Amino acid sequence: MPEGDSVFRLRRRLDAATRGSLVVDGEVRSGTAAGRSLAGVTISAYDTHGKHLLTRFDDGRTLHTHLRMQGSWTITRAGRRLPTAVRDQARVRMRLADGREVWGIDLPVVELVPTAREVDAVGYLGPDPLRDDWDADEAVRRLSQRPDRPVVAALLDQTRMAGLGNLWVNELAFLRGIHPFAPIGATDLHALVTLAARCLRLSATVPGMYQVTTGDRRRGSSHWVVGRAGRPCLRCGTRVRVRDEVANDPEQRRTWWCPRCQPSPSGADVGPPE
């Protein structure tokens, strides 16, 4: 699933390419607004909150989308067509005045909402380090509300802090030396939240540093634990462990950790509680 930094980068690309463009033809093809025309609107702005993309139009409407695991956006040049198989998966189409077309492909979440009521779509989300209204203290407060919750489950909960996905959650636990299934209340939340915000901003804004957590951009060396199950820890040489799913996570994301660099509070390197 794309993380907050990847959606932020997508927003910047779309903004640079299409903000201020007139949509001469187009429509929403799925969701509650399926069949609604987008012809005649101008793309006035883009925004993000966590992993959600908000495309604002000058008629007072906002297109709210979420990529989840499979979605994407692409822009075709004037006169170019998408392959038929891809075109059939289009959930949003916008043909611009210069002939280019903007396509939202296989988007699982698509809805049109009044711009003044964007809170109805994203208001439940926690603070986002990539937004101007980032509130670190509020993120700490929300994370501390359920102190017994495992670290990975708490950080993946977008209502506590928005924008962290599985890659960042696993890498942050390693960087802080926290066992992934330790209770979130046993950690220094201020330090964890500060590090998370710094890492997301670096990844989102610095060229060449997208989701590089080790400082080494070489293939196979850019992450401390993610994707390294059974391989030596880059710091201590201990074999990295993996669990197939995060406790109580409906998306069944995997969890990686180094048992030496991230010791279990109980002294036994165990998996998540049932």
Burial of 32: CB neighbours in 10 Å, binned 0-12, 13-18, 19+: exposed
Q: Would you give the end-to-end CA distance of the chain in angstroms?
A: 24
Taking the C-alpha atoms of residue 34 and residue 194, their distance in angstroms, rounded to an integer, is 41
For 116, phi then psi, to 5°, come to -70, -15
What are 113's strand-pairing partners?
62
Q: Within its chain, how far is the Cα of 156 from the centroid?
A: 10
Known catalytic residues? 2-3, 51, 253
Taking the C-alpha atoms of residue 254 and residue 167, their distance in angstroms, rounded to an integer, is 9
